[in-house]
Copies of this chain bind each other. A is one copy, B any other.
């Protein structure tokens, strides 16, 4: 595996590989099994796998955790190499933003709710840096985890709208054995917070089960169910709980959608965690607990 720090060097290195398929895994580093599952999928489908590690300042708000976001290149490089990454692109901020950036890529509507509402400017930062990375790497396929379901929806919308010559491959959320979704931010959790944080996945799984059983008559009921379950944990400070259409992420209110997402963001102390579940492919069971 080669570690590369400049755009020019990466483009030169990738030239001979352009005959084959280039797969791309963009990350902010501090790798966990979620990231590595994306590499694994890319290895299966592509000839060359490029991973980027770049903590992108543009997608952090002024009061967010840019400075304390965890970084460990040495550990990341070892994990990436073991997973089979061919090129690890690790540019500096000045390499990615050599001059004042005046251009931004904006996606409307899909960015309005959930993390788009809680983190103003976040998705413009994401779509802008992903555009830059796509132009630098020029992959045929790019891999994103479904823990960031809104990010996947936003990037798929952007790729369609702007005719990017790249296929977005959404991959399943990877979880600890007890159900906690893997996140680089999990390291911040105290043991007590870590324990209570399990309510995210638990409440979402319960909601899906009840939805499959036909226990809910509309989207807002699902939201209320999950909200109440999370509120049983005293350390949980809810940022949002929403049930929306997927991937357009429009509110449903007292309707049901064909394909829905229940998405949550919850603070435990200073640490903000997100998780979600897709409600699609409804089963045939009836509700046993109503």
Contacts and interface: CB of A to CB of B under 8 A. Distances in A.
A242 to B, nearest CB: 19
A130 to B, nearest CB: 10
A81 B102 CA distance: 38
A99 B131 contact: no
A101 interface: yes
What is the predominant secondary structure among interface residues of chain A facing chain B? mixed
Taken together, the copies of this chain in the complex come to 2
A75 interface: no
A157 B103 CA distance: 8
Contacts of A127: 103
Interface stretch (A36-44, A104-112, A226-234, A272-280): A104-112
Interface in A1-46: 7, 11
Contacts of A186: none
Contact of A162 (B106, B132, B138): B132
A90 to B, nearest CB: 16
A103 B11 contact: no
A161 interface: yes
Contacts of A107: 102-103
B162 A99 contact: no
Contacts of A138: 165
A135 B163 contact: yes
Interface string A130-173: 01100110100000000000000000011011111100000000
A162 B98 CA distance: 11
Given A99-B160, A105-B162, 5 more contacts: A11-B165, A101-B161, A132-B163, A135-B164, A136-B165
Contact of A157 (B11, B102, B131, B163): B102
A202 interface: no
Contacts of A162: 103, 105, 128, 131-132, 135
